Amino acid sequence: MIKTTLNYLAGWAEGDPRPYYSTFKRSDQQPWRNTQGDRRTLPVANARPLDPAPHLDREGFALSSWKGPSIDFADQQAIEETYYAEMEGLVAEMTGCDRVVAFDHNLRSNAEQDAALGDVAKPVRFVHNDYTLESAPQRVRDIMGARSEALLEGRFAIINAWKPISGPVEESPLAVLNAEGLQPDDMVETDLLYPDRVGRIYSFHWSTLHRWYYYPHQEENEVLLLKCYDSDPSVACWTAHSAIQDPLSPPHPNPRRSIEVRTLAFWKN
């Protein structure tokens, strides 16, 4: 068990302008965000000894080992042609779904300059979920095109597969919130502004029901699966998550380098 700071959303009420974060420097001189943070020092428990182990349909997250081939994560083609297929197989195995489509990925590095990965994003340090009730089915339409309406008639989920590129993780591990403690009032629709589109995610208000976990020293052959949406109302739907500062990090940790692949999981009607 550690204690660390989680960055929640502060002071947002129904009827206020929609909160936003800009992912790029805007030419209209508007601030990159219109939000205020609510910094909470909270316990984050080690998920490794939990018995039973966390499950995607209960807590909203699960850890799996992965014994796939060596991947050059500086090679975009290798990621899309080889690693996507590996993650599709892993998600299918972990969920029992009938079809998985990997459609996107993010590389992140905490290094000031990463010679191998180049100019990639930093770890995200605010509590969020990647999709909403509206943006999740819209993503299916964006990716699956003419087949989307038939697929949306059955159960589908959006599941992220997150792992370090080089391990073990010594700084900025990913913390995940037990979905069992989430309530609808905790969630605030938030816009992510891109140069060519607007994405929609959830930010979160703090609650006394929230219970946070992480996997210390996660290795590069360990994949953390996160449920970012599920159309089945009887199971976990959301997994709020955030990079955190680990007080147990060594004085000079190796920078965290990671990849997350987003997948669509479909079940037959």
- Report d(CA 224, CA 261) in Å as an integer: 11
Domain boundaries, the chain: 2-48+55-266
Q: Give the pTM.
A: 0.94
Mean pLDDT (the chain, rounded)? 93
- pLDDT above 80 for 28: no
What Rg do the C-alpha atoms of the chain give, in angstroms? 18
Q: Token pair for residue 106?
A: 């993010």
Q: Which of 135, 132, 121 is nearest to 243 (CA)?
A: 121
Give the model's confidence band at 113: pLDDT under 50 very low, under 70 low, under 90 confident, else very high. Answer: low
Helix (H, G, I), strand (E, B) or coil at 143: helix
Give the model's confidence band at 49: pLDDT under 50 very low, under 70 low, under 90 confident, else very high. Answer: very high
Task: Mention every residue, 6+ apart, whose C-beta is less than 8 A from residue 244.
Answer: 4, 5, 6, 44, 125, 172, 173, 174, 175, 214
User: What's the pLDDT at 233?
Assistant: 94
Mean pLDDT of 12-19: 83
Give the model's confidence band at 200: pLDDT under 50 very low, under 70 low, under 90 confident, else very high. Answer: very high
Q: Token pair for residue 219?
A: 């290795």
**CATH number for the domain whose boundaries are 2-48+55-266:** 2.60.120
Give the model's confidence band at 250: pLDDT under 50 very low, under 70 low, under 90 confident, else very high. Answer: very high
Mean pLDDT of 79-98: 97
Task: Mention every residue, 6+ apart, whose C-beta is less than 8 A from residue 121.
Answer: 106, 107, 108, 109
Give the model's confidence band at 115: pLDDT under 50 very low, under 70 low, under 90 confident, else very high. Answer: low
User: What's the pLDDT at 121?
Assistant: 84
User: What's the pLDDT at 198?
Assistant: 87
User: What's the pLDDT at 217?
Assistant: 96
Q: Which of 219, 224, 214 is nearest to 260 (CA)?
A: 224
Helix (H, G, I), strand (E, B) or coil at 3: strand
- pLDDT above 70 for 259: yes
